[in-house]
Amino acid sequence: MSDTAIQKNQSASTTPERMEQQTYYTPLVDILEKDDSFVFKADLPGVRPEDVDIRYENGVMTLSAQAQPRQSPGTNYIWREYGVGPFYRQFILSVPIDPNGINAELKNGELTLSVPKAESAKTHKIPIKST
């Protein structure tokens, strides 16, 4: 996957130190490339906006979030499949971006992250002159 502008960082060494030996979830993410930006769409069920942390540093974008329990502590479940806990994912962006223009929106459990390309990385149409 080295010929793409964005790479998933799946190395075991990328697990944040603050996350002790616990289970964490890897959110499913679709990435779209436009002429002037990348759009990330991540599934974060049960996560509130205040529980999402997005960071960009040295070409690496890190997404971490925390899903809270839906029921109060001590609930007597008959069956339980919904997991709560931390989400974590990293991406290496090999294309220069404008970190000040990154925009994030969380709606109905889906995070939409718009990451604008730096001016030097945008697609430019070259005019053709005729003589």
User: What pLDDT shows up at residue 18?
Assistant: 56
If one compares 29 and 70, the residue with the highest pLDDT of the two is 29
Average pLDDT for the chain: 84
How far, in Å, are 37, 39, 42, 52, 109 from residue 45 at the CA level?
25, 19, 9, 12, 4
CATH topology of domain 6-72+81-121: Immunoglobulin-like (2.60.40)
Residue 72 pairs with which residues in a beta bridge?
Answer: none
Predicted confidence (pLDDT) at residue 21 exceeds the cutoff of 60? no
Quickly state the pLDDT bin for 12 (edges 50, 70, 90): very low
The C-alpha atoms of residue 9 and residue 55 are separated, in whole angstroms, by 14
Alpha-carbon Rg of the chain, whole angstroms?
18
In the block, residue with structure tokens 């890897």 = 26
Note the pLDDT tens digit of each residue in 70-116: 888 888 888 877 778 899 999 999 999 999 999 999 999 999 999 99
Q: Among positive and negative, which fits the CA dihedral 32, 38, 39, 43?
A: positive
Q: Is the pLDDT of residue 56 over 90?
A: yes
3-state secondary structure of 82: coil
